[in-house]
Each structure stands twice: as structure tokens, then as C-alpha cells.
Chain A
Amino acid sequence: MNAFRVSTLLFLIVLAVATPALADLRVVTTTTDLAELVRAIGGDRVRVEAICQGHQDPHHVQARPSYMVTVSRADLVVAVGLELEVGWLPALLQGARNPRVNPGNLGYLESADAIEPIEVPAGAIDRSQGDLHPLGNPHYWLDPENAKAAAMLIAARMAELDPDSAAYYQENLQRFVDRIDRAMNRWQEAMAPYAGTRIVSYHRTFNYFFDQFGLVGSGYVEDRPGIPPSPAHLARLIRMMTQQDIPVIFHESFYDRSTSDMVSSRTNARVLVLPTSVGGAEAATGYEELIDVIVDSFTQAMGER
């Protein structure tokens, strides 16, 4: 056989082997939590990658060539939305030049469409108030009910893009929803004794978690979102925390902890460094585990008081 025939044969073999892989739905998500949802729904018929890692700040991600390549090959991009990623995702999508995943098309999904946002600001906003997330608080995924809603939305979109696997996705979705429902029972049980506890956090990431589990968000170490706190603000915060005997500060693991530590040293509050996304702590290997880490850290800290 001459060289041409050999190479053609090899090409056909490669194509035959590659074809099943080509059938996988390729999904890129902005956060690891969304990647977990996609994985839970898609099983082995989906290939998913998250751009922002669990220990990174999702508000700002440094662009890299590999991200552009990954997005260019994707069938579906799932973002959180509510302008969480507005600082880096639009530019990345533009650079990747994949028309399938441009906003407005089937291949682009903002999962926050599935939920009811809290803290939607009324009236005029300007930048002097900080990074107020003008469409509402985007950190919705720490409320498991929201995670379920997002999963349903994602499953519907994946079924639209890959109708042959729609039934498979639906099965997996149901299994995921059932798992979360069962986990919710034990989480509610664990958190019930502490309903009404006032908590201070560094940024606004935990507010949906507070609402779901009966905690009361009572202030932020960060004065204005995204801006390092001023001494005057910290003085007021410390005074308030001492008056109301706030027991813990929820501190997102990707922020520098020196300010929270300083506030803790002047009050009775303990700093809890917590993951906000899957992979943000060693034990937070999946979505259920992520909520477990937050619930267990909190209940343990309160138990030791």
C-alpha cells in the first residue's frame, strides 16, 4: 500500500475512534459549583471544565490562552450571571470567537435566571458605593434550594442542545435533587439550634445561606464591596460586634484575612475561613460537601463557645 492509502486508513481509524468523543457535550462553566451541577446532570456524556478555580475570586480572573481555546471549543458556556463575571467573561467570550456561545444564543446560559435575586438595589447607583452588583447579589449558590433550581435550568438547556440524551439528563437531575433534599434535612437539623444568630461576614457571599438557614447577616468587614475597609468603618463595626456579642465572622477563603483577624482580636468573634465554591477547601470536593464544610465549621465553632 502506498503512503496515501496508509494515511487515509489511519485517518479513518482515528475518525472512527474519535467519533464517540465528538458526541460528548462540551461545557465550560465559570465556577466550580456550576461545573459540579453540570457533571451531576451530564454524567459521562458531558465534558465540563470550570475556568475560575475554587480558591479564586470569581469577580476577577486573569485571562489565559488556554481559557480562550477551551471556550472556543465549547458547545455550552454556563455563567453565574447577575454581573458576577462582568469584569472578565465578556472580553474572554469576544476573544474566543465562538459564535455558538455568544450571549443570546443557545450555547450561553446565565444560571441566575433560575432564581429570585436578593438585595436588588433601588434608586441610582454610582461607583462611589462600591461594586454593588446592580442586578442583585449574585452569590446564590450557597442556598441549596437555589442550587436545585439552577440545576433544573441547566438540565433543560443541556436537553435542548442534546435531545438524544434528554432522558438521561432528566434521570440524573432527579437523582441530584433527591440527594440535596435528603442533605437538606440534616443541614436544617444541624442549623436549627442557631436560628437568629447574628453573623458578620467579610463580603456578601453568604447572604443566601443566611436566609435559608435562619442566620442574620449583621454587617460586613468590607465597608464597600471590593474596596479595602477604612479605619472609621472598622471602628464602628468593632463597637457594634461587641455590643451585640457577634460570635463569628464568616471569611471567604480567597480574601486576605488580616483585616478579619484584626477585628476578631478586638471582639469576642472568631474568624471562620470558609470556602465559597467547590474546591475552595480540601474537604469541599463536591456541592454537598461544600455545604457540609460550612455547616460543620459553624456548628463546631458555636459548640466550642
Chain B
Amino acid sequence: MLRRAVSRTPSWVLAVVGLLTVAAALLAVAVLGGQTLPERTGPPIEELAVERTVLSPGTIELTLRNTGPDPVQVGQVAVNDGYVQFTGGEEPIGRLGSGTLRLAVPWQDGQPYLVSILTSTGAVIEHQIPVATATPQPNGGFVGQMVLLGAYVGIIPVLLGMLFLPAIRRAGRRTVRVLLALTVGLLAFLAADATIEAVELAGQTGAAFGGVALVVLGAVLAFLALTAVARWLQGRQSQPGSAPRSPGGLRLALMIAIGIGLHNLGEGLAIGSAYAVGNLAIGASLVVGFAVHNTTEGLAVVVPVPARPVSLWRLLGLGLIAGAPAVAGTLLGSTVANAELSALLLGIGIGAIAQVIVQIAPSLRDRATGLVDSAAFGGLAAGVLLMYATGLLVAV
């Protein structure tokens, strides 16, 4: 009888009943279990991460996030071993809560500062400002500067790299295969570099929102999303008789452009926020360095473009997809610098690149033998080396 009733009930009703049961059980544990479980022993665990530092003449403003399990009450604040007048933080900051301190500090341009927050229990939480410099105000001129910066490091180099297209068109199938291998090498280096970067950055966030897990989350979601996009494009494009396993040239170019675009979003974010905190001087050498480095990304986009004529607009579109996110990144990074967001975006870039590598990989095989030949391996190695060497130009 019961079985029959259950089998007739719509599945969503069963799901709701299940959810309600779980909720009731958890509620019971929360209400009754709390009294039977032991309290944590030992002093409170006090953790505060500084999410944002804004410097204006005579004032340092810190946005704090409680990344620990217990509330934190700011007692006093010392800067470079001297107590300072400040406002904010009058109330305790609860778990995952945030607060803003405005410190009266006659800070000097270019000097390092160590902020020591003395909590109500006497614990000391330190925050280092490596170089004090006035935080730019996001006005029209500044937005223009950031857009220009994003174009310099993202759009222009990618478009320059795409100028290799005529040369690639003349090359034989084997040369194209080596160039594709080179592209995979470039991308693999970017992915590895971004991973190291993202993990390090996530480690500094205080892990309130997951830390390294955020990077993994971004990477997995980006990989899945791009795979779905690729399948959808494939479904639209595939015609009876064509080989469905080997991705079409333009489609592959689009996928590479999207992957590199997502990567450049994270990169632009890093540049923008570094600039905002005064850790980056925008100069000719930096722009030239990025141009050389990111020109290789443009090369990667055009390698799979097929021999048949492709309109200039389409090529320009590919270049913008790959390069323009850098502009969004610099804008975002310079205005809402946030380590968690950056870790997530870097993760998205990593997942996107990994997906592109998976897409290109089949094209590396020699059609005759079905194997990856030594020339392709040479291309892979050359790609990694090229990225490493041009990367040195911007490491300063």
C-alpha cells in the first residue's frame, strides 16, 4: 500500500519531504545538541584579514574581514610601533563579518608601514603595507588610464600576434602542427604560472571563503562551461560527412580566444590592483614587456584559423575576445581589489586554458601515423621556453 502510494507521488514532493526531514533533524541537533556537546577549551581564536587598504593624505583606511571562528573586538591600533587615533571597529566583528578602521597616520609616500591591531584580549594582528602611496580615486581620468592600460597589455599585443596569420597560411601542415604544439606549450606555461600564483594568493586570503578551494572552484566551473560551449558550437557546425572528432579551425580559434580572454581577465585584475596599491609603475618597459609576452597569445589564437578566407571582422572579433577582458580586469582590479575575487578569477583562467589545451591536443597528432612526432614535442618545449623567457621581461 505504502509502496504504491510512494510510487504514485511526484518525485519533487518526495524531494521536498526529504529536505524537510533533513532540516528538522539539523534543527533538533542545533537546539538540543548544543547543550550536550563540550565547549571549545582555550582562549578565543582571533583572526582578521585586511581585504582592502586605502591611503589618502593623513589617513589609512583598512577594510577588515573576520576569517576566524570567534568575534574579534579591536582594542587599539599601532602603526610602526606607535599608537594612533582611529575611528571604526567600535563593535565586535563577528565571523565573516567586516569592519572599517580609519587611522590618523601622517604617512610618507614610498615608506613601508606595519599596522598592529591590538584586540580586546591583547592579541596582536599585523598588516603590512609594503609601500605607502595614495590610492587612486576612481574618477573619469583614472578609468581612462586603466582602459588604456588594459588595451596596452591585452588587446594590442594579441592583435599584433595575429599579424603572423599570413605567414602561417603559407606554412605546410607539418609546420602548423608544430605551431599548434607551440601554442599548447605557451598555454601550459600560463596555466602552471597562474596556478602557482592563484594558490599563493588564495593562501593569503585567510581562507574565510575557501582559499585554494576557490581556485579549484573557478577552474572546474570554467572547464565545464567551456566544454559545454565547445559541444554546442560543434553541434551547430557539424555537417553530415565531416569528421566530428577533429574541431574545425575557426571554432578552435574561438575556443582558444575565449580561454586566453578569461586568462587575461585575471591578469588584468592583477595589474590593476598592483597599480592601485602603488606596487606597479606603469612605464614603457612594462608595456613593451607585456607586448612581447602577450603577442605570443595572439599567435596562439590564429594558428588554427583555416586556409579559407576569413573576414577581417571575424579576426578582429577573435582578437577582442582574447584581449579585451584585460581591460575589464584592470578596471575591476584597480577599484575593487579583493584577494578572494582574484583567486576565483585566476582559477577561471586556469580552467579555461586547460579546456583549450584539451581541444587542441588531438590536432597535434600526425594524421598519417596517429602519433605525436618529435617536431611537435619540440614545439611544445619551445612554447614553454618562449613564455618563460618573455615572462622575464615583465618580472622586472
> Do the two chains belong together in a single complex?
no
Residues of B within 8 A of A (CB): none
Chain A residues with CB under 8 Å of chain B are none
